[in-house]
Every structure is written in structure tokens, then in C-alpha cells.
Chain A
């Protein structure tokens, strides 16, 4: 379980301060499928980055299975990300010179690539419907295919949670819907938690948890629509 407790984040740009998060509290339970919506600049990306241990909050606590990561140093955060978090970005962020299979394995390179890891990477790509694209480089893949490679990469470390920042932002509606379906399937079959930031409200279903963020404050939304 992931718990955010009165998390704030203040960016300092020279003399001025930007209060990106002004006390956000949130619980994500195993198997939750969470959507976060909100206007541009409201702090959605900031929130995901704090949940994923990419940066530490200015104040408040971030508890992952009871452990407070808000005081972790850079090295601890890196290992935390490597072992517990899967990231999916809007612009895929694949490495252009590597094949799909190699891209999926990249997070594990520091630990050493074993035969079983490679097998797992192949299976993940097959599961994403990319069994025939293992040795293609990102330049030879469509947007939807790239994002599926990125999802497979997010799963290689068997994460506790997948954090996706506008994963359908660069895809057309049909492809976006397919990507969303893949994530739902993974959520159902593996009871894997997802937190997804999106602008496309049409993907959201009744059973999902929906939060709206505005001016650095998070509100739970009961009714979708």
C-alpha cells in the first residue's frame, strides 16, 4: 500500500516560490486503478514523481508498505525505483539505439541480465502483442507499439505500482483505448496497482478511483462524468 500524508512541494526559481503541491493525502491499495485529472500546471506530474521516488517532498510523508521514502537519499531512492516502481511516460522515453527487447531489459542492466530475465522480457512483450517486434528499434515501431514496449519495460522489475503520466497523450483515440485496455488487463490479472494521469476522461470507468487536482490540492471525485 502507498500512503501520501500531507505532502507539499515547493519549487524555488530564484527568489520566487512555486507551491506545486499544497498538502496532498492519498491512499493507493493493491489492485487499485487510480486516475488523476486536472488542468495543466496543477501538479499532476509532480505528484507522480514524488510517489515514484524521483524526488522528495518539501514536507509530508510518503509511505510505501509502511516505509517512509521521503527521507531517502539518492542511492536509496534509485534502488527503490529499481525494485518497486514502474514508470510509463507520455513520450515513451525509449532508447533509440536499442531493440524492443533490449529496451525492456535496460532497467535491470546494473543487476546483470540473466537468462530468466531475458525470458521474462520476451514473455512481457508477447503479452503486449509484440512477439513479432522483439528486435525492432523504436524508430521502426508505431506510437502504440512504443508505448506497449514502455509498459513491458515498466513491468520487468515486477513493480508494486505502475505510475503513468499521460500515457495516451501522444496516441490517437483508438490506440489510446487499446493501451488503456492493456493496463486494465494487467490490473485485473495481476492485481497490480496503477496510478494514471490523463486528460482523456472517456477512458475512465465507474469502478475506477478518480481524483481531481487543482491548484496543488487533491479532491476525491465520486461520480465520474
Chain B
């Protein structure tokens, strides 16, 4: 019966082939979306939870890069009980490199190396992997995050163009906080000069708590005693990131469900056409003693075989997409885990079986008498 199903499908190779390809692309889409969300989760959450730090931004700011704080607030924050070290930073978007073609946006962060070093666990220089932190708060010197260094193939001592100005690379760092992962770090005053935020304005304060366990209490106290700011621990940020990821997941699931429905319809169409083409043949099978159930099983088996082919092609295509596109396009790694492949397989088979139900019923309903009389 299996052989018979395979032969039936190979009857119209173009139709079967196009169906398999169409659905394989859908499966590829779903598997890739899931692998992206998986990759996002791993790279964001894991890095966020390693540090206990309070990030102070202006109230109502949508994110650190649009936050604006008055520098004078720094001493107010410093006075809050439980605050060990405060470091200010200016964050602004930049264009890196000579070429105008902007791929992923890069942010520059202006910092005071002295403030950073005075932390127990320096946020920026704590992750140094090569070279050293620049000194002073002015000049065209830059510390690259590892990702940027890799992307633009820069080493310590090289120069890199940022917003059309040449900077000397003094070091490469791999900060533990993921939002800093693909940034470039420049001296604070240089940043103030180019960001356009103003001389006494910065974007955020990093506050190191005396007791890491008390980070969220410190954040609450900062919010209470300093007006106009919002303070979050990075583990709280992990919480928001988690809920954001959940939203992204929900969105991905929505897109995936569209592909599932479309896929089922494609399979249904293909098998339905096959059944229509073979009405006479099915009538002969019935005349020869196949029961309705036998015919039904046969068409469902065809849809199952189709599902196997689709899942094979879909998983193969997902790998192609990952290596050819995603790995170059995304700054975080995506992984196609065995679980994802299993999910892709189950998806393809389920969708095919779903699409097979109606054609199978149609085939079982073929009347042997009319079918063999018409020809």
C-alpha cells in the first residue's frame, strides 16, 4: 500500500514537487522563526542575569538610548542609601565604517573610564578581552565590543571610522550586559560633543549596589528619592525582556499558524486534484473489492508520504537559511535544535494529514459504478 501511495504521488511529479517545495518553505519559515526566538532568548536572558546592577533612565523613556538625564542628578543618586558607585553614560546612534550601507544599527556609549574603574565589577572594562581602557574623557579613542570588532575585523591599534571621524581602537571588551554587546565606547566628553544631547545631559546612570542582593530595593529607593527618573535592576530588565520575548513568540506563533493553514490548503488542493484525476482508477479499485476505508487509508497514506517529503525538504531548507542568511544577518546565534527539527517534522506531517482528510473522504465517496462507466 505504501508503494502504491508513492507511485500515485510520482504520477504527477511536477504537482507533487511544487507542493513539497511550497510547504517546505513554510516549514522553513516556522523552524527559522522558532530558532530566532530561541537564539534571542539565550543571548538576551543569559547575559542579563549575570550582573546585579541598577539602570537609571529618565521617566517615560522608551529605552536607554532615548533617555535624557540631567548630570546634576548623579550626586542625588549617589546619596541614595545602598548605592556604591554611580557611572554616567551618553548613548547615541552612530554609523560605523566607511560605507553608507547601514546594516544593523550601532550605538555608541560615552563613558568616564575613571567612574567605570571605580566600580567593584566594572561594567565596561570588566569585560576587556584585548588592549586596555582609554584614559581621560576626551579624544578620538574607542573601545569596541567584541561583536563590533569581529564584524569590522578590527584589532587593538587599528583605526575605525565612526560618523565619518577616525578613532583609534585602544581595546576590545565583551560586557556582560547584552544591551552593551554591540556598542562602541568612546570618552564621555567626545560623546557629549557628537550626540547633541547637551553639555550637562547624559542618557543613563549605572548604579552598583553595596549589596547585590539588594539591587531591586535600591532601584525602588532611587525612584522614590530622585524625581523624574525610572530605575530598574538588570534582572528586572530580564523580566521585561522575557515578557517582550513572549510577545515576539506569540507573534511568531501567529505567523506560523498562517503558514500551517496555507500549507494544509496546498496539500488539500494537490491531493484533491490527484483524486479527481484518478476518479476512474479509484472506481476500479472499489470494483475490485477495495472498501471505502481502504481507499481512505490509501489517500491518507499519500498525504503522510507527502508530509515526510515536506519535512525533509523543510528541515534541509532551514539549515540552508541559517547558514546562508541568518548567521550573517543577525548579531546573535540561532540554533536548530533536535527539538526544533522534531517540531518541523511533526508540523509537516500534521499539516499534510489535515490536508489529506477532505480528499480522502472525497475519494472514498467515489461510486464504482459511475466511475467505471464514464471514460
Q: Which residues of A approach B to under 8 Å, CB–CB?
A: 45, 49, 52, 54-55, 74-75, 78-83, 85, 87, 89, 91, 93, 95, 97-98, 106-107, 109-110, 153, 157
Contacts and interface: CB of A to CB of B under 8 A. Distances in A.
Contact of A106 (B280, B288, B369, B375): B288
Contact of B291 (A52, A78, A85, A95): A78
Interface of B: 1, 4, 7-8, 10-11, 280-281, 284-294, 368-369, 372-373, 375
A82 B290 contact: yes
Contacts, number: 64
Contact of B373 (A45, A74, A78, A106): A45
Contacts of A82: 288-290
Contact of B286 (A78, A83, A91, A109): A78
Contacts of B369: 49, 54-55
Main secondary structure, interface of B, reads helix
A93 B280 contact: yes
A98 B7 CA distance: 8
* Most chain B Cβ neighbours within 10 Å, of A78, A83, A85, A89: A78
A97 to B, nearest CB: 5
B289 A81 contact: yes
Nearest to A74: B292
Contact of B287 (A54, A91, A110): A54
Given A93-B372, A106-B285, A75 B292 contact: yes
A173 B17 CA distance: 44
B285 A81 contact: no
A212 B285 CA distance: 30
A167 to B, nearest CB: 14
Contacts of A157: 289
A108 to B, nearest CB: 9
A109 B287 contact: no
Given A87-B287, A109-B1, A95 B281 contact: yes
